[in-house]
Amino acid sequence: MPAMQWTESEYQAYLRRQEEKARPRRDGSMSEAALLEHIRALARRFGWLVYHTHDSRGSEAGFPDLVLCKPGRLILAECKTERGKVTEAQQQWIDMLRHSVPGVEAYVWRPSMLEDIARILTSERTHLCCTGSKAS
């Protein structure tokens, strides 16, 4: 089954619908929900199949927020605000995926990384950036 790829007009319509969610907070920062929606829209724009568990209650703790799939690539990403802390369970998942599963890309993404995220999503293979670090 091919990934859902949005046309430019579909992408722009989606962005308009999401504008309210994506508005910066009073302090100018981006919420985790706004970051997540931005990345989901961007990924769909570039032909990625996107999965996000909307209600993780009852799920295993720490599993990344996003699963992105495209032929030859699989990305799992945890979304955090600039000051958001990565939990021990989240770091365990990211480390295990990054170091134990060949070819899988695992990241911790923050609003300040939007340009790097776009580069990763539009590239053929992984970049050596946006890898995140423990408790950052």
Is residue 1 scored above 90 in pLDDT?
no
> What's residue 128's pLDDT?
44
Q: Which two tokens stand for residue 77?
A: 């990403």
Q: Are the C-beta atoms of 52 and 65 separated by less than 8 Å?
A: yes
The yes-or-no verdict on residue 133 having pLDDT over 90 is no
Indicate whether 69 pLDDT > 90. yes
Q: For the segment 88-111, what is each residue's pLDDT rounded down to a tens digit?
A: 999 999 999 999 988 899 999 999
Q: Is 28 left (phi over 0), alpha (psi -120 to 50) or beta?
A: left
| pTM value surpassing 0.85 | no
Q: What is the largest CA-CA distance in the chain?
A: 42
Identify the band that residue 117 occupies on the pLDDT scale cut at 50, 70 and 90.
Answer: very high
- Structural domains of the chain sorted by starting position, each given as residue range(s) with its CATH number in brackets: 8-55+62-122 (3.40.1350.10)
- CA separation (Å) from 103 to 8, 15, 33, 44? 30, 31, 27, 21
